[in-house]
Amino acid sequence: DIVMTQSPDSLAVSLGERAAINCKSSQSVLYSSDNKNYLAWYQQKPGQPPKLLIYWASSRESGVPDRFSGSGSGTDFTLTINSLQAEDVAVYYCQHYYSAPFTFGGGTKVEIK
Amino acid sequence: EVQLLESGGGLVQPGGSLRLSCAATGFTFSNYAMSWVRQPPGKGLEWVSVITNSGGATFYADSEKGRFTMSRDNSKNTLYLQMNSLTAADTALYYCAKGRGGPNTAIDSWGQGTLVTVSS
């Protein structure tokens, strides 16, 4: 099974500053036949279900603000939130969908400094 | 608008069984893979299982294999999760979720969840 490890567990960022969350997979989630990274990022606010932000490691879901971006390939990935807004306070999760089981990372809590 | 409405959660004794349902509306249900994801109280997301659009194949997390059975009825636009031999570790909010396409795609829609509590 692929293990997803996120870091840090939590971070506090000032409004308008950049937040970066890392996600590392125990094996590559890059599928050679289509050259796609089978990785997604989700945002979960308190009392709400998760919301898809990024799929294929760097494709932004429709309606997601462009301050959210995903990067990386193979085993190392980053979710970047540029110019953090108050409404971005949430827990963020990465998930691979390369081969079942499609495990999630442990989550990163983003707060305002 | 995609809507996923879970039901069937509740309090069950250790060793007991429960069947969750998820009614789907707002999209062509038979075209998409569906998943169950759970979240223990105060903890992170745990992937449980996925089923192909036709229901011809299912995949499970290791801890659920042999205990949980996922199925779907495309004529009723409904997803199911049969859970047997439940333990306290299965206590969680269970989300029904829709894939962007086949099973190897991201989840783009989630229900509000149904709470399962395993306790004597």
Measured distance CA(B45)–CA(A43) in Å, rounded: 11
Which residues of B, range 9-68, sit inside 8 Å of A by Cβ? 35, 37, 44-47, 50, 59-62
| Residue of B47, B110, B111 with shortest CB distance to A102 | B47
The pLDDT assigned to A81 comes to: 98
The residue-averaged pLDDT of B22-26 equals 98
- Residue A50 pLDDT greater than 90, yes or no: yes
| Residue of A38, A52, A91 with shortest CB distance to B107 | A52
Over residues A61-86, the pLDDT tens digits come to: 999 999 999 999 999 999 999 999 99
- Residue A1 pLDDT greater than 90, yes or no: yes
Over residues B25-71, the pLDDT tens digits come to: 999 999 999 999 999 999 999 999 999 999 999 999 998 888 999 99
For B29, phi then psi, to 5°, come to -55, -40
Over residues A26-46, the pLDDT tens digits come to: 999 999 999 999 999 999 999
Chosen for mutation from B36, B47, B60 (greatest number of chain A CBs closer than 10 Å) is: B47
Instruction: Identify all chain B residues contacting A98, using CB atoms and an 8 Å cutoff.
Output: 104
Instruction: Identify all chain A residues contacting B62, using CB atoms and an 8 Å cutoff.
Output: 1, 101
| Mean pLDDT, all residues of chain A | 98
The residue-averaged pLDDT of A19-32 equals 98
Measured distance CA(A37)–CA(A74) in Å, rounded: 7
Measured distance CA(B95)–CA(B50) in Å, rounded: 12
The single residue listed with the structure tokens 């859970």 is B83
- The pairing of beta strand B68-73 with beta strand A51-55: unpaired
| Mean pLDDT, all residues of chain B | 97
- Residue A6 pLDDT greater than 90, yes or no: yes
**The token pair that represents B81 in the structure block:** 């999760």
Residue of B nearest to A95 (CA): B106
- Residue B98 pLDDT greater than 90, yes or no: yes
Residue of A nearest to B113 (CA): A49
Q: What is the DSSP letter of A64?
A: -
3-state secondary structure of B52: coil
| B30 touches B54 (CB < 8 A) | yes
| B79 touches B69 (CB < 8 A) | no
Residue of A nearest to B44 (CA): A106
Measured distance CA(A3)–CA(A80) in Å, rounded: 21
Over residues B73-83, the pLDDT tens digits come to: 999 999 999 99
The pLDDT assigned to B65 comes to: 84
Measured distance CA(B7)–CA(B23) in Å, rounded: 8
Measured distance CA(B103)–CA(B51) in Å, rounded: 7
The pLDDT assigned to A91 comes to: 98
Chosen for mutation from B6, B104, B109, B112 (greatest number of chain A CBs closer than 10 Å) is: B104
| Residue of B44, B60, B113 with shortest CB distance to A104 | B44
